[in-house]
Structure 1
Amino acid sequence: MNTRITSFAALLGSALLALSSTPASAAYSVSLLAPIALDQNSYGNVIGANGVMLGESYVKQDCPVSQWVGCLVEGYTSRQPRSVWWPAQGGAPTMLPCLSKAVSTSASWDKPCEAHAINNRGVMVGRSYVPKGAFDIGVHPVLWLSPGSAPVDLSAQLQGLPSYLSARAVGINEQGWIIGRAQIDNRQNEYAFLLRDGLATVLPSAGALSVKARAINTTMAVGDGQYERGGQSGVIVWTLGGPTTTLRTVDGGENDVHAEAISSAGHVAGFYWAPASKQGNRAYTWYQGRAQALPTDAGYSSVAYGVNAAGQVVGSHCRTDQDIHGCRAVVWTNGVRQDLNVLATPPAGYTFVQAKAVNDQGQITGWMVSAANVYRGFALIPKP
């Protein structure tokens, strides 16, 4: 069911949240992503080409008497994270509907459905829970044509794939091709699949024991491959209809490499861990066969979450001896790291701590936190 903020107080609150809070000298104007309810948190995770955003907020819930067994088995909480769509530059959110409302309470520890990606036409893909027996739930890949539309279950289009326990869609490109993940067994082993024009095929594993698909553009896709049981991972880059490339090291050492995003031009961004450095995660970018570690200060870890066609990378830069309050949302431009708290002015009492995505217009989404641990999603819009 589509849920919107309808009370006068909530509408006024969301309007105030959308006001720019950045002085004229800053590089970005700031819009806040209103939560479903003003006393709940919100987080920005994905930004589309036209500035619409996906993320999550929390909703309050009760456990109906009819579902008390599920609440008891899965654990019941009064707050549940839900996937949310916001219009460009903020505004009132729309909560995405799921395949089944019946599982939402018993799955209170997790989102009953989740959107992972959106293409230029506004089509979203993700996953949704469905009932599976009396005390279990299944995970199906889904597609939303618009924020208020019911999700389309894509399971029927995957019938030609090898058997799997659960599946999800994680990316969609402008042609409508979908990349996804299928879990094979209870040991979390997976394979990556491509759903193209109604035909599902398995993507090459490049020698990996398990493959987790991450993202797709018009000609390429990217994922993680686990090459040892419980050990090293590497990045797999698929050229759709062409060769497959792997990235096993960034700095020439024994690295554990992961991908988070791929740009429309083919840049890959993510993070790696080098045991010799003992520094934690470090952000990197890869383009046309060349990997580059991104500047990370001593005593800090970093992760690159998003990248655009210009090679601009966004992510986080965190003190290794602190919690989330020691993190700063950052942007790397031409390899130079800048703190987004300097390029834009967060609302009083807040700090931008995570930058999760950037589109080809340079618009950024992520989330910030206050000293009182209140979380809010944000959109940063480059000033002319």
Structure 2
Amino acid sequence: MKRSLKCLALGLMLPVLPAHASVLYTLVDLMPESPLVNSGARAISDAGHVLGFTGDGESFVYKNNSVSWLSVPRYANPTGINSSGVVVGNSAGRGIVYSNGVTQIIGGFSGSPYSSVAYGINDAGQIVGSAWNAEGNQRATIAGNGSLTDLGTLNGGQWSAGNAINNSGQVTGESQTPNGGHAFITRNGQMVDLGAFAWGVSRGYAINDLGQVAGTSYVTNNEKHAFITTLDDHMVDIGLSGYSSEAFGINNAGQAVGYFGDNFGGSKRAFVTLNGVMTDLNTLIAANIGWTLMTAYDVNNSGQIVGVGIAANGVQRAFLLNPIAAVPIPGAIWLFGSALLGLVPLRLRARF
């Protein structure tokens, strides 16, 4: 949902998660006609639209084996796409929405001199993001039908940020609290504090239609772990001790995707959760294609995954993974609440 491409070292010190007996995904290079152009894939809709961008500042949508270039401003930051192919993003410090060849600016709060940003859109066309009020404080917002709704903050905090919205209009993001920024979910129009791990800072990056949130939270001052919430809003650590991870996408089956890597922003490898366990996506594709998958940014309800990797020629590239086998999904463990949290340490020990 919100990051830029940088050339990342592919270190040799990352842990190798357990390999699986068979290939579960085929990989599609989204721009095979331009093999030397850096690119990345940011989001995928349930209709299969893939939203991407290039290092040359162009934005595109991939669908049905074809790339369509978007006539948005150069070096725009595309962030979300819905099943109708409507795109949101940011350009020159303002949120934008692109539909049917037309780009529109998303306005800010009435009377405020500050602008807004957009990070996600649902199938109803509701856009989640942030706007700055007259006092200059960032607030999580929903835009749609010509209106802008301030979602407030947690526990009287001054700022909040909206990162993702589901088809029921529930939002996740981060809000200031007396204990630092915390991930939240909106329920019945009110923010619910999802808490944080030991170091007291968390962010919600994605939300599915069941209300499960995926994101990250710090366990030490420089180590953050990916999390998924249960349906009763308990945050479950799916990270690996000694390594940082973030979960950027989650589908209705509870599958989360993201990256794990060193604690200093260097080496990264993409993951997907299988049966609730973080699994290196590089072990689930054919080894002879020569790719290294660095970060998975989104997963749709068909199990398709998009992100960025290093191709065999050493260039950073956008990828689409299509499942070719029955991919194990988390199942009932995410549908129950805190009664099953005692199983988590066992799973963590058994993974590696």
In structure 2, how many angstroms separate the alpha carbons of the residues matched to 1:125 and 1:347?
A: 36
In structure 1, how many angstroms separate the alpha carbons of the residues matched to 2:287 and 2:175?
A: 38
Q: Report if the CA contact (8 A) 1:346-1:352 is conserved.
A: no
2:132 is the counterpart of 1:169: no
Q: Hey, what does 2:60 align to over in structure 1?
A: 84
2:165 is the counterpart of 1:191: no
In structure 2, how many angstroms separate the alpha carbons of the residues matched to 1:195 and 1:237?
A: 17
Alignment equivalent of 1:98, drawn from 72, 75, 82: 72
Q: Hey, what does 1:225 align to over in structure 2?
A: 175
Q: Secondary structure at the match of 2:228?
A: strand
**Which structure ranks higher in relative contact order (CA pairs < 8 Å, sequence separation ≥ 6)?**
2
| Aligned-residue offset at 1:279 | 6.1
Supply the AA of the counterpart residue of 2:62: W
Q: Report if the CA contact (8 A) 1:194-1:201 is conserved.
A: yes
Supply the AA of the counterpart residue of 1:222: T
Change (3 A) 1:93 1:346: farther
The one-character-per-residue Cα deviations of 1:210-248 (angstroms, maximum 9, x if unpaired) are 1111011122111211236xx821012123x53321122
TM-score by length of 1: 0.72
Supply the AA of the counterpart residue of 2:150: V
Q: Hey, what does 1:7 align to over in structure 2?
A: none
2:40 is the counterpart of 1:43: yes
| Aligned-residue offset at 1:373 | 4.5
In structure 2, how many angstroms separate the alpha carbons of the residues matched to 1:123 and 1:29?
A: 27
Alignment equivalent of 2:226, drawn from 270, 275, 283: 283
Q: Hey, what does 1:30 align to over in structure 2?
A: 27
Q: Hey, what does 1:328 align to over in structure 2?
A: 269
| Aligned-residue offset at 1:92 | 4.4
Q: Hey, what does 2:285 align to over in structure 1?
A: 344
TM-score by length of 2: 0.78
In structure 1, how many angstroms separate the alpha carbons of the residues matched to 2:122 and 2:159?
A: 23
| Aligned-residue offset at 1:35 | 6.9
Q: Hey, what does 1:215 align to over in structure 2?
A: 164
Higher mean C-alpha displacement, 194-203 vs 45-54: 194-203
In structure 2, how many angstroms separate the alpha carbons of the residues matched to 1:319 and 1:347?
A: 25
2:210 is the counterpart of 1:265: yes
2:182 is the counterpart of 1:234: yes
2:127 is the counterpart of 1:178: yes
Q: Hey, what does 1:355 align to over in structure 2?
A: 296
Which runs of no fewer than 5 residues in structure 1 stay unpaired? 1-23, 60-80, 105-110, 130-138
Q: Hey, what does 1:21 align to over in structure 2?
A: none
Q: How many residues align?
A: 303
In structure 2, how many angstroms separate the alpha carbons of the residues matched to 1:183 and 1:227?
A: 18
| Aligned-residue offset at 1:255 | 1.9
In structure 1, how many angstroms separate the alpha carbons of the residues matched to 2:226 and 2:85?
A: 29
Change (3 A) 1:25 1:86: same
Alignment equivalent of 1:142, drawn from 84, 87, 96: 96
| Aligned-residue offset at 1:273 | 0.5
Q: Report if the CA contact (8 A) 1:35-1:42 is conserved.
A: no
In structure 2, how many angstroms separate the alpha carbons of the residues matched to 1:185 and 1:223?
A: 21
Q: Report if the CA contact (8 A) 2:118-2:130 is conserved.
A: yes
Q: Hey, what does 2:349 align to over in structure 1?
A: none
Which runs of no fewer than 5 residues in structure 2 stay unpaired? 1-20, 326-352
Q: Hey, what does 1:153 align to over in structure 2?
A: 105
| Aligned-residue offset at 1:182 | 1.3
Change (3 A) 1:178 1:320: closer
Q: Report if the CA contact (8 A) 1:279-1:298 is conserved.
A: no
Alignment equivalent of 2:200, drawn from 233, 247, 255: 255
Identity %: 29
Supply the AA of the counterpart residue of 2:84: R
Q: Report if the CA contact (8 A) 2:72-2:98 is conserved.
A: no
The one-character-per-residue Cα deviations of 1:290-329 (angstroms, maximum 9, x if unpaired) are 33434333332111111001111111111337823xx221
Q: Report if the CA contact (8 A) 1:33-1:86 is conserved.
A: yes
Q: Secondary structure at the match of 1:299?
A: coil
Q: Secondary structure at the match of 2:157?
A: coil
Q: Report if the CA contact (8 A) 1:234-1:247 is conserved.
A: yes
Query: RMSD of the TM alignment (CA)?
Result: 2.6
